[in-house]
Amino acid sequence: MPETLFRDAATYLRPEDVAQLESAYRFSALAHEGQFRKTGDPYVSHPVAVAKILTQWHLDPQALIAALLHDVMEDTTVTKAEIAERFGRMVAELVDGVSKLDRIEFESHEQAQAENFRKMVLAMTRDVRVILIKLADRLHNMRTLDAMQAKKRARIARETLDIYAPIANRLGLNALYQELQELSFRHLYPVRYRVLHKALLAARGNRREVVDRILDAIRNKLAGSHIEAVVTGREKNLFSIYSKMQDKHLSFSQVFDIYGFRVVVRDVPACYLALGALHGLYKPIPGKFKDYIAIAKANGYQSLHTTLFGPFGMPLEVQIRTQEMHKIAEAGVASHWLYKQSDTELNDLQQKTHQWLQSLIEMQSQSGSSIEFLEHLKVDLFPDEVYVFTPKGLILSLPRGSTCVDFAYAVHTDIGNRCVAAKINQELVPLRTELKNGDRIEIITAAHAKPNPAWLNYVVTGKARSHIRHFLKTMQYEESSQLGERLLNQAIAALQPTAETIEDSAWDKLLRDVGSATREEVFADIGLGKQLAIVVARRLLTLGEGDGNSNRLPGSVMIRGSEGMALQYARCCNPIPGDPIIGYVKKGQGLVVHTHDCPIVRKMRGDPDKWLDVEWATDGKKLFAVNLRLVVSNELGTLARVAAEIADADSNVDNLSIEPGDSSAYSNMLFTLQVHNRLHLAQIMRGLRRIPAVIRVTRLKG
């Protein structure tokens, strides 16, 4: 069984390397002795098959040995130290990178899966051979998936389609990418696969004559133009046909371009000469030409793509590339091992792969959990791309659907964090504007700007999403910590006014009791409502010299309006400065401010420890949103007069909607205005009542 592996390896490895490979096989066979796969084969047949796949990419001896040993740490008693001692530290690192974290207990399968991906991706950023071994492992598992139960087959196929196939595509491993897609489709939708496969076999006979005619016509045209070329026809895989049917809502009979044609020429100038010749043979379809030679894909792929009107109106997809481009298109990052030329294409490819791997490290450091990191990774594996330009003419490739915010973070994290506006092709546009191929983008920044939580609704790149979330979490933590410190100090002052400071020993005991590392963590927990200031204050005073027996409640907390995310204004009553208010400490959200007459307050009075007296600070400068309903008569120019009155009162309209009234003579205008305080609101309402067409003005608190 392993003889073919050694024979394939011997075609490019030294005899001593092959001898070491044989030693690794014997070690693996002994470790897996008595173990069998679901197919009934000895377990060692699997690592041999994985290593054999890697020989197709001409991977080095260390990778092949690691492939033979990739399951021994997971499924046997062999340790990393034993592997390092026998086969070297590098092989041990590769095996460890591929091994799952099976010995750790996780709360759910999703968390275990996410943590395993996180471990594998981090190992991949140190050595890309980790992911090549893992992809070969997954390919062999998919080829032998029939032995599994239907439910497990579907789960593994979905995981392959969502994660492993896109990673193969991102690394430029085109043949592997298509086979993983095809196998996933077969196991995920077996009935659809069989129906399509049968239809394709029937169509193949009907269209063979037409395809042969097209191949002859292309070859004759290129030969007549004195262009040396190898022309081949290829059938699209079933998954790409199925995806096209799904995306464009077509039946199989409506998908004409199930055949593609590839033209491989000598050099880059010949690519463009061949393109001109083919456009002279068949008319090109407008808007269906892509030049991936001038602007290569992120995974290093280069080709000219054009779609032509063929005989009988059949659309033909043609790829034109050089031999070097073809090697990279098929082997991607593995071409570094397969073809040892040090040409610029391979160097560029390695550089792009390295940049992507570095971005994964950065994304991982910003993600709060492994599940969040996996979500960001899935987002980052978009297959479609748009190519845009910086003001200096540099090309950036971004996922389709990317916005100006995604572009800003792609340029630099600081530019993303501080962006306030953008220009596309010299025109000012909103930050949420989607980018198109060829756009020239300029980002406008401000020193004190910061990310907006609303950006998370429309950014698509993993980098932008992870940085925005990280910034917001950090900002919330800092603001909660500041609020929590104020609440705690006021609680201590109310319980024991004579206590100027709390002793360090009391703080040390408290931190040990609650399991926090720093005082800031305790402050943040108080600010977020996870702990009550009054309870923490009593414990600190009890642990210190004070008796802590006082039952007095803390004094009022001053609300300035600038506390940020750690303090919220209840939407049920929308309090503004001047309204009598009360604060409720809500777990995980911090301090929520309500008006005294809010119906929610009456319902929740049963837990007095969670209510705090709060007051408005007199020096607050924040603008607050307030809702007004105006009943107006349907007269010409009423809206203009109302808007002018609001502007004269130094207010701004955030939102406006108009609803029909109780009769056709009246309408309801619903405004959201920005006001400084209750006096400012009263001034606006008095001005609105002076307008003859305004029948009634009321403030909406809900």
Give the residue numbers annotated as catalytic, written as ranges: 74-75
Could you give the 3-state DSSP secondary structure of residue 436?
coil
Token pair 């047949």: residue: 45
> 264 vs 330, 333, 348, 508, CA distance in Å?
13, 20, 21, 72
Do the Cβ atoms of 379 and 461 come closer than 8 Å?
yes
Of 202, 210, 288, 196, the C-alpha closest to 240 is 196
Q: What angle do CA 550, 555, 559 make, to 5 degrees?
A: 155
Distance CA 199, CA 290 (A): 30
Q: How far is CA 323 from each of CA 58, 152, 303, 326, 332, rounded to the nearest angstrom?
A: 18, 41, 11, 5, 13
What tokens were used for 390?
Answer: 């910086």
For residue 700, what is the DSSP state? E
Q: Give the HSE-up count for residue 32: Cα atoms under 13 Å, Cβ half-sphere.
A: 25
**Which DSSP letter does residue 622 get?**
-
Burial category of 310 from C-beta neighbours within 10 Å (exposed 0-12, middle 13-18, buried 19 and up): buried
CA distance 401 to 459: 8
660 phi, psi to nearest 5 deg:
-65, 145
Dihedral (Cα; 633, 637, 638, 640), 10-degree rounding: 170
Half-sphere exposure for 565 (CA within 13 Å, toward CB): 17
d(CA 695, CA 215): 79
- Contact between 270 and 320 (Cβ < 8 Å): no
In contact, 531 and 522? CB cutoff 8 Å: yes
| Residue 563 amino acid letter | E
Q: Which amino acid is at 315?
A: P
Instruction: Indicate the helix (H) or strand (E) that contains 424.
Output: strand 419-424
322, 344 Cβ separation under 8 angstroms = no
Say how many Å lie between the first and final Cα of the chain, rounded.
74
Q: State how far the Cα of 329 lies from the Cα of 332, in Å rounded to an integer.
A: 6
The secondary structure of 592-605 as a DSSP string is: EEEETT-HHHHHTT
Helix, strand or coil, per DSSP, at residue 283: coil
d(CA 553, CA 530): 19
| Beta carbons of 340 and 441 less than 8 angstroms apart | no
Q: Is the CA virtual torsion 287, 288, 294, 296 positive or negative?
A: positive
Helix (H, G, I), strand (E, B) or coil at 277: helix
**DSSP bridge pairs for 583:** 593, 612
All residues at 6 or more sequence positions from 339 whose CB lies less than 8 Å from its CB, including other chains:
327, 331, 346
Three-class SS state of 566:
helix
